[in-house]
A and B are shown apart, each in its own frame.
Chain A
């Protein structure tokens, strides 16, 4: 692990497929960190993963993040989902659920909690969420959360919990990443 700051750039190994995590941008095979933090590069099988581990107060959605959001309304064919208080809501399509069709789709109310995955992040568009596993198209644990309580934790802690399977927690609960 090394500390990187915005303005640094380093080349990613070509040859293998590199999955980019939060806080990294690429131009060709040059990666630029978008924030200051620890650079983490891990190799699993044929693909490798690179991301910058940083703590910040405000959550900035990044593609493939697992998030818990509150439904704050719906418009057209999608729900508006708040990922953090006082920030722009993300969009969750009515059909972004496994096996959803016009007749058969989850009916969510304002105030309901959903566990979802960030599907796409574009600075010019709304953040899009999906409630199914990207590889299998199955449920994968996503969807409407019932009962329980939502705990707000620090971003760094939430990321730590998600990335470490053996993280010491009293209860394994999805946290507001």
Chain B
């Protein structure tokens, strides 16, 4: 049996009263995100750690050469693995104790990330094809959830995208039916072809009035909140995830049940998300750019070439 956090009525009342006054526990405004910290590995490709307040996620991207799917001979394979272990919180039970059965929250998180990143075509699968029908790259993104303080969906989408942008696969040459892979020292590894950067924004809804007002009334004073932390997420009456890229293309909108929300309110959320996506995308690009600049060491590269000639 999955146990939930025991949140007392006192805490609930306190949080909700504060929200009605446009204040949150950590001092943010309702539609303000926590600061995003992104760090990428300096010595290897395709590893990113992202934290959003106390929530922390690590993502590693790996690649191998396999046979493409029979029905898609011209496409590579891209998989995202999102198994949430109890490391981040005892709220998520280990697959070993539940017999591989995931909790509803876990399934929802996995599916949302899958839809946001994989099915929005962020990664160009056709560029992963090596020899049609026989060889292609299989890219795999493994997400590790390190700490839980709400909002796994948004942080995961950032982590996967940063790791994909950070990843380099070995350069190669095709000689008839043979594939020659080059070592990192021989040729610079090549980045993946990323078509766009979809980012998720999750809004949580609260109802300051009674249920009847929410369904029949037209006050529309439901509270909307972005980037909820643990307690806010546990108390929320409904959530909506928007996936948007910096070209202002809405890739996904998910609202699974919960509070009834007016269309105009949803439009406001979209507008707000599209304002935030620019900053976040710029931040991601900055991290990637700084990393690639740090890697450039002209002297060292020169020496490597000399070494190779001697052997």
Contact = CB atoms under 8 A, between A and B. Distances in A.
A111 B9 contact: yes
Given A86-B91, A148-B14, A149-B14, A111 B3 contact: no
A85 interface: yes
Residue of B5, B9, B14 with most partner-chain A CB within 10 A: B9
A150 B11 contact: yes
Contacts of B7: 70, 111
B10 A145 contact: yes
Contacts of B12: 111
Q: How large is the interface on A (under 10, 10 to 19, 20 to 34, 35 or more residues)?
A: 10 to 19
B9 A86 contact: no
B185 interface: no
Interface string B66-105: 0000000000000000000000001100000000000000
B8 A113 contact: yes
Contacts, number: 34
B9 A85 contact: no
A166 interface: no
25 contacts: A70-B6, A70-B7, A70-B8, A72-B6, A82-B6, A85-B5, A85-B6, A85-B90, A86-B3, A86-B90, A86-B91, A109-B9, A111-B7, A111-B9, A112-B8, A112-B10, A113-B8, A113-B9, A113-B10, A146-B10, A148-B10, A148-B14, A149-B10, A149-B11, A149-B14
- List of 10 A-B pairs having minimum Cβ-Cβ separation, nearest first: A111-B9, A82-B6, A86-B90, A149-B14, A70-B8, A70-B6, A113-B8, A113-B10, A85-B5, A150-B11
Interface of A: 70, 72, 82, 85-86, 109, 111-113, 145-150
